[in-house]
Amino acid sequence: SKLKPEKQSEEERYRAILSNLDLTRSFYFSYSYDLTRCLQHNIFRERKAHHEGTPRSIFQDYNTMFIWNHHLLTPAISALKHPYEWCLPIIHGYVDQSKLSVYGRVVYITIIARRSRIFAGARFLKRGANDLGFVANDVETEQIVSEQTTTSFHSAGPELHANPNYTSYVQHRGSIPLYWTQENTGVSPKPAIELNLVDPFYSAAALHFDNLFERYGAPIYILNLVKSRERTPRESKLLQEFTNAVTYLNQFLPGNKKLIYKAWDMSRAAKSRDQDVIQTLEDIAGDIIPRTGFFKNARDVESGLRLQNGVARTNCIDCLDRTNAAQFVIGKRALGYQLHALGVIDETTVEYDTDAVNLFTNMWHDHGDTIAIQYGGSHLVNTMATYRKINQWSSHSRDMVESFKRYYNNSFLDAQRQEAYNLFLGNYIFAQGAPMLWDLATDYYLHHADPRSYL
C-alpha cells in the first residue's frame, strides 16, 4: 500500500480550508432578478432601457461589490460580450420572505441583505477601513413590502415597470471608517482597540462617504452607537475620532450633502433604569425616515411615485447586536410608512406585539443572527427581547451562552474563516516563489495598496 506523505500538500490544505466555506448556506442567486441592486435601481434601469429602446440591461449592470464569485467570473467577464448571460452572480448575506394577511389583503415582506466582498472577513481580523474607503462588515439591507395581487412589476396600461404595489426601504451598516484594529490573543474577550494610523485629513472616511453618496444619494444619516464612557477607554477612543472625522469632512460638503451625525451610547442606556432604549430608537427612526424617504413605485409623481434619497448608516463597535436592534426599529418605522403608502393601514406607524410586527421582528432577528454568524462566528448576543426587557431570565441565559460562543469562535476559528474568505474571493494570487496565504503572519497587504504604487 502507498504510504501517505508526512506533510500535507499545499493543494490539500488549500482544499480543506476552502471546504470550510459552506456554499449551500447564505449564498443566493436569481435567474431573472438582479439581487445585487435595490428594487428602486432595478425598476428605473428597466424603465430607462424601455424608453430608450435599448436591449434589456440587467446583464450589464450588476454591482460587482456584492458579487461574491466575481474573482471566479473575471476570465469570462473579460472574454465574453454578454458574460452574465452565461455566468450567474451570487450574493452572500440573507434573504427571507413572509406573507401577511391584513383584512383579507395579502402583503409580502421581503428582506434582502447583501454583504460586500471588498474588505470582507471575520470579526477581529477585519476592522475599520482600508485605504480605498471600503469598510469591514459592509452590509446593505433592503426591505421590500408589496401587495402582490399580481407578481409582475408591470401594471395595467402602456407604462411598463409601473406597478404601484411595490415599496422598498434600504439601510446600511458598516465598521467605523477609520484605521483601527484589535489584536485577539484569545485571553481577553474584549481586546484593546488600537488606532493604527492618525490621518489628519481622514482620507479613508472621505472615500467611504463619497462611495455612500454615490450609492444612495443624500443625506447620509450616521447613527453611531458606540460607548461614550468607559473605565478603560476602548470604544470611546473611536467615538471621539469618528466624531472629529465627521466634523472635519462636513466643512467641505455643500449644505444639501451634509453628513447628519447622531452619537448615542445605547449600551449605557440599556443598563439604565431611567432611559427607554426602544423609545429613544423610535424617536431617532422618526427623524430618519422623513429625511431619506422610501421607494414606492408608480407611473409618475402625480400618481404616487416616491423615491428614497439618502440612507441611514448604523454602526456600533461590531455592527452586530446594537446595530441590528437599531436597524430593526428604523425598519419597523419604514414598514409603517410602506403599509400606509399601499393603503393597507390608515396611520404611518405599526405597534409592537401585533401580528405584523411580531412577524417582522422574527425576520430581523434571523437577519441579525445570520450576519452575526458570518462576521462574529455566533448568533446575536443581545436581541430585541434583551433591549425590550422581555423574558429577562431566559434571554439573559441565552445571551451568556452566545457571548461565550462568540468568544470561542473569535479565539480559535476566525483565522480559518478568514483564510476561506480570502481564498474564495481571490484576494490572494498564488505566484511563483510567493509565500502561501496560510504562512503569512497577516493578510493586511491583501486589502491595502502598496504605498509605492502611488509614486
User: What pTM, to 2 d.p., does this model score?
Assistant: 0.88
Q: What's the pLDDT score for residue 411?
A: 47
Q: What's the pLDDT score for residue 255?
A: 86
Single-letter code of the amino acid located at 46: E
Peptide bond into 219 cis (omega under 30): yes
Q: What's the pLDDT score for residue 267?
A: 92
Q: What's the pLDDT score for residue 152?
A: 83
Q: What's the pLDDT score for residue 209?
A: 98
Mean pLDDT, rounded, of the chain: 85
Q: What is the pLDDT of residues 141-184, one digit of tens each?
A: 999 999 977 778 887 776 788 899 999 999 999 999 999 988 76
What angle (nearest 5°) sits at the alpha carbon of residue 423, between those of residues 422 and 425? 65
Task: Provide φ and ψ at 412, rounded to 5°.
Answer: -120, -20
Q: What's the pLDDT score for residue 155?
A: 78
Angstrom distance (rounded) from CA 447 to CA 455: 19
% of the chain beyond a pLDDT of 90: 55
Q: What's the pLDDT score for residue 412?
A: 46
pLDDT by residue, tens only, the chain of 455 residues? 455 555 566 667 667 766 766 777 899 999 989 999 999 999 999 888 877 766 654 546 899 999 999 999 999 988 988 888 889 999 999 999 999 988 889 999 999 999 999 998 887 788 999 999 999 999 999 999 999 777 788 877 767 888 999 999 999 999 999 999 887 665 566 788 889 888 899 999 999 999 999 999 999 999 999 999 888 888 999 999 999 999 999 999 998 899 999 999 999 999 888 889 999 999 999 999 999 999 999 988 888 999 999 999 999 999 999 999 999 999 999 999 999 999 999 999 999 999 999 999 999 999 999 999 988 887 888 888 888 887 665 555 545 555 545 544 554 456 666 767 777 787 765 545 556 655 666 666 666 665 444 33
- With beta carbons less than 8 A apart as the criterion, state whether 230 and 241 touch: no
C-alpha cell of 366?
434571523
Strands 166-173 and 180-182: unpaired
CB atoms within 10 A of CB 58: 17
